[in-house]
A and B are shown apart, each in its own frame.
Chain A
């Protein structure tokens, strides 16, 4: 195992989190985008509430545009992708140029989607590149430590997002199980007590999503 600085550990973790945030919010966005066409125009309001982001959007169209592409909106997908890129670009020697290139490609695809008349088609490329990024992380990063930290970030972010969106227990449970398997392989320090509590919460009859989000956010020390 090579030596990794605290800063790089942090950047690997957030690279994992932001890449996941972009991927899953894009997926959720695509679903909402569809139903907002003719079913429920105001669905984005509920989306913002659950995501705990301010609803600054004036209409479903405004939401579709700004939530995806407004760089000045700190909660937009493009802002999150920029954060993923900011963490990735300083990790070239840790993750490799090839791995880094998929984040770079996602950025290019995002910029292209922004200019497109049919953004959803182009946004698919953003998702494709992130999936490829995760694939290459598994395939080409030999250092287990490095790999695990990225994946831990991804897992934590996913549980967090799923809990916020009140996903089905079964889906959430699956993700928490994966998180349990990953966390000890990172060498990072976390609260075993909170991890146990998360495992308890998911089994409770009355699933307390809010508490779950709180616990997951405070898991790492």
Chain B
């Protein structure tokens, strides 16, 4: 009989990660995870560990990595404050369905529950914001738990998993035997297609005169971009995208009618309340998309394609639910669709597109005089990258402007904190995105506020020479909050004005090249300079202080109640 040599739990953990194909880990060492970091020391050829400057940074980096690559992002941090620092990124990944495994150290099993140094109840804290959270108390559990964690994180509707591993389990010796997990009795990641749902959906679409599709991240997560295109083209269905569904269709695609929701395009929001059949694909009718539910698409029959049954009828009552992965449901419906043309209906979008161009876009993207605007900077940079870059954003005006005025030519090109709206997401997520797609240009748009929430990650960028192009759209305000104060709080600018440091000097201290500009005439040359190589760069653009993101549907307002500005 073969006798297996025993290895430490820490080594078993690393070996398990390698079995799951992990090549990159974002982490930060500390007391309760030290045995694992010690084991990791011998694996530097197989695993690239990126030392971030804060555990929140590690989680957002893992998110950025996962979002662009489709792989599971991995974090390795210690117990107590490290785990609580990781919570924001875990919650963000939960709301944005990002596959991630966060491994937290924990005090030794004998100390559990005693308020030991750096002990917190990680599983208890993270249960509401994870797909699964599990505490490993003995080394025997490690291989099983890691296999299960990765299966849960990546399968079905993806999401974050927390593994909380006691220090004692890391030092215990164990016979290592790894078996990947592909079945959990109580968990059905991809529900089987129901043929009745498919034919009901196809019938409704075949009968539609004014069909309209809403495209969410579910299409991207299912790698169903081609299936989406075939579906839309066959029945000639105009479509619009949610924030997380951005780049699922190229900007240039004939049936792509733009961005939905609060700061989305006028036409798709207006047409939501004009279409006769609304087809929601892998999106969850977030309140930033729907506005007031009482007036939302009341005239339309609604079809909802989603992998998650709990999303059906959660916010919007639907006529036909199609449960399953878009990879299977879309082609199944397409097969039953009649080839048709809706030219007249599609032409009706133009009127609103023209109106938006005249009242909003012209001023924001093509100003000839006055101060620099956020929109023109984003537009120029998008052009300079041939619309091929990955756009990572922080949260606020910079985010909405980046989503609106970047053009997309390939999928997985917008990485942004949609559900949680985490300021400080930008820098670390961009680092992770660059690690996950090193061959692509990665742009990071931030405001002056969000940039300072995770500014310490400049240290990580310096150490690892992560070639991201950071752009601060600096208006010396917490711009989105200021915008709301202007519109809804009588211009009472309560604590939104910021006195900022010399950002370029800070970057310089980290040995990162940068430039600050305020003039339109400097824009093209500076952008070219920024993009000339693959090194990290910081561009600070001083933009108009009181810029506004228009169009805007006020929170809770109807999707047709769109403010276009003065």
Do A and B truly interact? no
Chain B residues engaging chain A, CB cutoff 8 angstroms:
none
Chain A residues engaging chain B, CB cutoff 8 angstroms:
none
